[in-house]
Structure 1
Amino acid sequence: MQAPPKISVLLPVYKVEPYIEECLDSLLSQTSTDFEIIAVDDSSPDRSGEMTSRILENQTRIPWKLIKNAENKGLAETRKVAALAARGEYVLCVDSDDHVHHDLIRRVIEEADKHNADVVVFAAENVTPDGKVNYRIETGDTVITGMQAVERIFDLTLQAYCWNKLVRRSIFLSIEHPTGLIYEDICVSIQTLGKSNVVRLIPDNLYAYMDRETGISTRFNPKIVDLYAIIDRVEKITASMPIPNYRRLLFRLKYIYGYRTIAFQAAIKAPTYRLAEPVLLGVSEKLRVAHLVGMYSDHRPKLSFVMAMLKIHPWIFYCFVRRFGRR
């Protein structure tokens, strides 16, 4: 029997027909072959699953498996389906409309072995289809504990994406994977890091996170309010963790990140105020004067001012953000 690979790439496949070939090409051209691809067709209504099967069948360099969900399960549950079928010591989540650097597998194996790391976090770029880099997702260059990594996510200095983290498979399988919610990466990453002893951060840019007009991250999605439920879960998960300045950092994650994200994304991405209004009203109702004061005390006077507009009336906030808040 063939020895298990070091890494299992978890590849959920859903409505990515125009992009799956580029994604798979980037994986199949890796400088290291010490990995497998576990693709899961999440009942995709297009030809994504067939294309994945055809491309993988036409090569013999990388071992692979293709699973088909009988019904659509969503990203978090599909990743877990893939992880349960995986054999690698580590898992690496890849979104099937993105692509990766050709040296990704070799570099993360090298760092994991060198430091006996439970998690390896690497830099990434948000890229448009024509190759323009919108922004870079930085990580730093250090070795820290899992608890320190959780603290950095709370402090908003480390991103909570799943796709820029190599994770020991036993840890990935031991956590809760929220189903039916978007922004699930926050909950997953905080749990995996919280269970990790050694986390290696490397500055290498190894992942291209694609900014597409049709992507869930670039269009208005009323489910953005799922972020309330995700943050509540994070609060329950972390309440007993020994995180320094926990209440202050939780405020930062909950209000400065969570409330701000919900409100700004609704204002910027909703094509009309009518669509944005229910989301903005929800944030306004939850927002308290104490939260605005907390934002100001956290050295964010501009955010406090703009969110005060939301508290006064969502229409004022909507108009201001549409005029001045676009990236």
Structure 2
Amino acid sequence: MSAPPKISVLLPVYKVEPYIEECLDSLLSQTSTDFEIIAVDDSSPDRSGEMTLRILEEQNRIRWQFIKNPVNKGLAETRRIAALAARGDYVLCVDSDDHVHHDLVRRVIEEAETHHADVVIFAAENISPEGKINYRVEAGDAIMSGVEAVEKILDLSMQAYCFNKLVRRSIFLAIEHPSGLIYEDICVSVQTLGKSNVVRLMPDTLYSYMYRESGISTRFNPKIVDIFAIMDRVERSTASMPIRNYRKLLFRLKYVYGYRTIAFQAATKAPTYRLAKPILDSVAERLRLTHLFGMYSDHRSKLSFVMAMLKIHPWLFYCFVRRFGR
């Protein structure tokens, strides 16, 4: 048997028929070949799985495995299934409707080996279907401990995406993967960073995250309330970490980000108030005056004011947000 590759790319495949060819082309044309692709067809109802298998079979430059889930497992569980089949020292999560820089693998291997890093975080960009860059996901340029990286996520100064993080496979397999929940990346990233000793932040933009009209952030999804469960899991996994100003930082992620995201997504994306109301009610029930004061004291007076409307009555909040947006 040949020596294991340095990196295993975890590639869940589900309903990406228009995009999978470009994604695979970006992986198969990498400047380094020291990686493998673990593609998992998560019982996709379209031809995504068939196309993936055909494209992989037609080349012999990059090692690969193809797995088909007999039933749909969801993103988190499918990534875990891919990681269990992987052989690389590190894993890299790639979403199959995105594409990566042609030098991604070589660059992250170089950074991981140079700094003996457990995690390498790189910059990414969000791109529209027309090719316009909507915004950048910055990574910075630093070396830090895993706990310090967790602090940055709690502080909302670092994004918790999985797609821009190379992670040691043993760490990735040692954490909980929240099956069936959306926004699972937050939970996964916090756990992997919390178990890491050395984290390398590199400024290079190596990943293109595509804006899709059907994406999680562009459509109404009642499962947005999964964030409540995600935040509870994050709190459990970080409670024992030696995090400075822990309560303050956790407040930012849980309430400033979590509660705000649920409420604003429901108000802006739901086609009617009737659909938004149960979700807004669930936030209002959990929202306390101490949370509003906490937002205000954290220099977020506008957010405190708008969330106070939600506490008074969801309809008031709904109308204000629909009228004035962000």
Secondary structure at the counterpart of residue 91 of structure 1: strand
**1:168 match:** 168
Secondary structure at the counterpart of residue 45 of structure 2: coil
Q: TM-score, normalised by structure 1?
A: 0.98
C-alpha displacement of 1:322: 1.7
**1:208 match:** 208
Q: Counterparts of 2:273 and 2:104 in 1: how far apart (Å)? A: 42
Q: Counterparts of 2:266 and 2:44 in 1: how far apart (Å)? A: 27
**1:17 match:** 17
C-alpha displacement of 1:270: 1.1
Q: Counterparts of 1:147 and 1:251 in 2: how far apart (Å)? A: 17
Secondary structure at the counterpart of residue 97 of structure 1: coil
Once the two structures are superposed, residues 254-294 of structure 1 have per-residue CA deviations (whole angstroms, 9 ceiling, x without a partner) of: 10010001001111111221111111111111111111000
> Match of 2:217, as an amino acid?
S
- Runs (4+) of structure 1 exceeding 6 A deviation are none
**1:28 match:** 28
Once the two structures are superposed, residues 166-208 of structure 1 have per-residue CA deviations (whole angstroms, 9 ceiling, x without a partner) of: 0000000011111110111111111100000000001111111
> Match of 1:99, as an amino acid?
H
C-alpha displacement of 1:216: 2.4
Once the two structures are superposed, residues 39-79 of structure 1 have per-residue CA deviations (whole angstroms, 9 ceiling, x without a partner) of: 00001111100000011111111010100011110000000
Identity %: 81
Correspondence list, 1:132-281, <5 A: 132-281=132-281
Q: Counterparts of 1:34 and 1:315 in 2: how far apart (Å)? A: 55
> Match of 1:76, as an amino acid?
A
Q: Counterparts of 2:202 and 2:321 in 1: how far apart (Å)? A: 35
**1:5 match:** 5
Once the two structures are superposed, residues 218-250 of structure 1 have per-residue CA deviations (whole angstroms, 9 ceiling, x without a partner) of: 211000000000100111111111101111111
Q: TM-score, normalised by structure 2?
A: 0.99
Secondary structure at the counterpart of residue 197 of structure 1: coil
What is the alpha-carbon root mean square deviation over aligned residues? 0.8
**1:95 match:** 95
Q: Counterparts of 2:86 and 2:114 in 1: how far apart (Å)? A: 23
Q: Counterparts of 2:253 and 2:171 in 1: how far apart (Å)? A: 23
Would you say how many aligned residue pairs link Structure 1 and Structure 2?
326
Q: Counterparts of 1:215 and 1:160 in 2: how far apart (Å)? A: 17
Once the two structures are superposed, residues 8-65 of structure 1 have per-residue CA deviations (whole angstroms, 9 ceiling, x without a partner) of: 0000001111111111111111111111000000011111000000111111110101
Correspondence list, 1:67-78, <5 A: 67-78=67-78
Does residue 320 (structure 1) correspond to residue 320 (structure 2)? The answer is yes
Q: Counterparts of 1:86 and 1:124 in 2: how far apart (Å)? A: 24
C-alpha displacement of 1:215: 1.8
Secondary structure at the counterpart of residue 4 of structure 1: coil
> Match of 1:140, as an amino acid?
G
Q: Mind listing any 5+ residue stretches in structure 1 that lack a counterpart?
A: none
Q: Counterparts of 2:82 and 2:88 in 1: how far apart (Å)? A: 11
**1:303 match:** 303
Secondary structure at the counterpart of residue 192 of structure 1: helix
Secondary structure at the counterpart of residue 305 of structure 1: helix
Secondary structure at the counterpart of residue 271 of structure 1: coil
Secondary structure at the counterpart of residue 18 of structure 2: coil
Correspondence list, 1:26-65, <5 A: 26-65=26-65
Q: Mind listing any 5+ residue stretches in structure 2 that lack a counterpart?
A: none
C-alpha displacement of 1:217: 2.6
C-alpha displacement of 1:317: 1.2
Once the two structures are superposed, residues 270-326 of structure 1 have per-residue CA deviations (whole angstroms, 9 ceiling, x without a partner) of: 122111111111111111111100000001001101111111111121122122225
**2:115 match:** 115
Q: Counterparts of 1:124 and 1:87 in 2: how far apart (Å)? A: 26
Secondary structure at the counterpart of residue 72 of structure 2: coil
Q: Counterparts of 2:126 and 2:319 in 1: how far apart (Å)? A: 27
